[in-house]
Every structure is written in structure tokens, then in C-alpha cells.
């Protein structure tokens, strides 16, 4: 049961918890002669924190880029299950869609190297997270008339709740380029949240942070997951974080899925240990 003082739900998915939200099936991505992803299949369940781990160059970010439409895999599909109010489930294959159409379905993401709109304020960045929920009419915008003005105020309310959730009130009006790294990472999470995501993709949300900042970020991700009920799929290198906060873990190595299960299962899987630690030479 979600209970909090916020007025706006941040979870954009109406799928019941426990059902399949995203079905990744046989995704193969090649760059010339290099196979970045080789027949990767797994499922993301509504209401889970689903971690994707693997050594450097394993294809984790490529996988996320396939899901958000930035890369086009040669084979396979990624089926997103969505449900409108009171109706049955519709499925859409993300692999065939353009990035902005995928975002409109509620797949939001953050990037490994912060990709914020540097010259805009925190507020403008978060308002851009509302882009797909706003209507943009040229003449009304030029005249700052009626609907164009009203929607700026309506959507501001949800944005302010996200600002409150992530505790970035003090930097609301600061251009993000002038912010410290930790704040920028938080703003990027906020921008994705403002989209009211059905599925939140986070590419290394804790990269380059110290222990304390990592704890904070982990707390925010748990808040988003537990309080707001958003399904999160994240890439992370810090094993402690992954084992602590995720419900399910998929492991990639050289583009292939080598393990998929609960954190306990994965951490004792011999294939995973081999990928991370190597194996002993047998004489």
C-alpha cells in the first residue's frame, strides 16, 4: 500500500505488481564484426528493482540503449506491456520504435555520463520531463495564452513534488551545468521521474560517487520504488548496492546473458564468479 502526502502518482504503469512489464526476447546487436549483445532474453516484472550487472564492455549500456530506441538491434524484440484505465493489456515492441515514441509509452531513463540540458535550470530540466504529457501549440505558445500558460502551472505541481522527494529545493533555479556532480545525478533521476515512468531505466546512477552519496542515491531509488511503486531497471557496478536493493539480477558477459535470478542465486552462480574473478588455471 502506497501512502504519502504527495498528490501525484509517479508510477506510470497500471500493470498489477508481479506481472510481466517488459519481455526482452532474443536481442542481438552487432556493430560491424563485433557482437555487442548476443541473443539476450529476460523478463522485467512490474514492481521489481531489476539490476543488470556485468564486467566492463559486457553490453549493459548497449542493452539499455536498445530499450530506449537509441540503438536498433538486428534481431529480437522488447515487448512492453501497458494497460490503459480499466481495459486490457496492450503490447508494443520497443525495438521498432523511435526514442520519443518509447518515452511517450512511459519508458524514462538516465544516462551513464550525465546528459542533462546544461544551460537550463533544474526546474526547466524537470519540466522537460513533463514534455510528453503537455500539448504544444505554436500560436498559444507565442501568445502565452490560455492553455499554454495553464499547463505550465499544472505540470509545475508534479515537478515540485519530485523536487521535494529528491531534496533539491535549494537549487531549483540554478543552471544544471553549475551544479556539483552528485546534484546533477539526482536531477537526472528527477527528470526521468517527472515523466511518470512505467519503467525507469537507470544507467549507473551511482558511478563516481563516494560511499555517503551512494547511500543517499540508493535511498532515493528505494523511495521511488517503495513509496512511488515505480519499476526500476538499473545498471550498477557496486555489488553491495546491487545485492541490497534489487529483487532480481541479470548478468551479462561479452554480450551474452550468463545468469538471471535472485541476488542470492546469482552471487553463487559459478559462471558469474568466473566472469568476475576469472578461473584458476588447471595444470
Binding site for another protein (CB under 8 A): 68-70, 98-100, 103-104, 108-109, 111, 115-120, 124, 127-132, 134, 136-138, 140-144, 148-149, 151-153, 155-157, 191, 195
Of 80 and 103, nearer to another protein (C-beta) is: 103
Q: In the bound complex, what is the minimum distance in angstroms from residue 169's beta carbon to another protein?
A: 13
Nearer to another protein, 187 or 259 (CB): 187
Q: What is the largest CA-CA distance in the chain?
A: 79
CA atoms within 13 A on the CB side of 91: 10
Q: How far is the CB of 36 from another protein (least distance, A)?
A: 18
Return the bridge partners of 49, or none. 232
- Classify the C-alpha dihedral 198-108-257-207 as positive or negative: negative
Choose between 154 and 271: whose C-beta lies nearer to another protein.
154
How far apart CA 249 and CA 134 sit, in angstroms, is: 35
227 Cβ neighbours under 8 A, 6+ residues apart = 2, 4
How far is residue 107's CA from residue 200's CA, in Å, rounded to a whole number?
6
Closer to another protein by Cβ: residue 132 or 243: 132
Least distance between another protein and beta carbon 103 (Å): 3
120 is written with which cell numbers?
537550463
Task: Supply the minimum distance, in Å, between the C-beta of residue 86 and another protein.
Answer: 25
Amino acid at each position: 500500500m502506497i501512502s504519502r502526502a504527495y498528490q501525484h502518482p509517479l508510477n506510470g504503469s497500471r500493470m498489477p505488481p508481479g506481472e510481466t512489464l517488459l519481455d526482452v526476447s532474443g536481442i542481438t546487436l552487432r556493430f560491424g564484426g563485433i557482437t555487442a549483445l548476443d541473443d539476450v532474453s529476460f523478463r522485467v516484472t512490474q514492481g521489481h528493482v531489476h539490476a543488470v550487472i556485468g564486467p566492463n564492455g559486457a553490453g549493459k549500456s548497449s542493452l539499455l540503449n536498445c530499450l530506449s530506441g537509441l540503438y536498433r538491434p538486428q534481431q529480437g524484440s522488447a515487448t512492453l506491456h501497458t494497460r490503459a484505465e480499466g481495459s486490457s493489456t496492450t503490447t508494443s515492441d520497443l525495438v521498432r520504435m523511435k526514442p520519443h515514441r518509447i518515452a511517450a509509452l512511459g519508458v524514462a531513463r538516465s544516462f551513464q555520463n550525465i546528459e542533462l540540458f546544461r544551460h537550463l535550470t533544474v526546474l526547466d530540466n524537470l519540466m522537460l520531463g513533463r514534455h510528453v504529457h503537455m500539448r504544444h501549440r505554436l500560436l498559444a505558445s507565442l501568445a502565452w495564452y490560455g492553455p499554454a500558460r495553464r499547463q505550465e502551472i499544472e505540470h509545475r505541481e508534479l515537478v515540485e513534488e519530485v523536487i521535494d522527494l529528491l531534496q533539491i529545493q535549494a537549487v531549483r533555479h540554478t543552471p544544471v551545468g553549475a551544479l556539483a556532480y552528485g546534484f546533477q545525478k539526482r536531477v537526472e533521476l528527477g527528470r526521468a521521474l517527472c515523466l511518470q515512468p512505467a519503467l525507469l531505466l537507470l544507467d549507473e546512477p551511482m558511478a563516481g560517487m563516494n560511499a555517503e552519496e551512494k547511500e543517499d542515491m540508493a535511498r532515493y531509488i528505494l523511495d521511488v520504488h517503495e513509496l512511488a511503486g515505480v519499476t526500476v531497471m538499473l545498471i550498477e557496478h557496486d555489488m553491495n548496492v546491487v545485492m541490497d536493493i534489487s529483487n532480481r539480477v541479470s548478468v551479462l558477459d561479452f554480450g551474452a546473458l550468463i545468469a538471471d535470478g535472485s541476488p542470492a542465486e546469482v552471487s553463487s552462480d559459478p559462471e558469474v564468479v568466473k566472469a568476475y574473478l576469472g578461473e584458476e588455471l588447471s595444470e
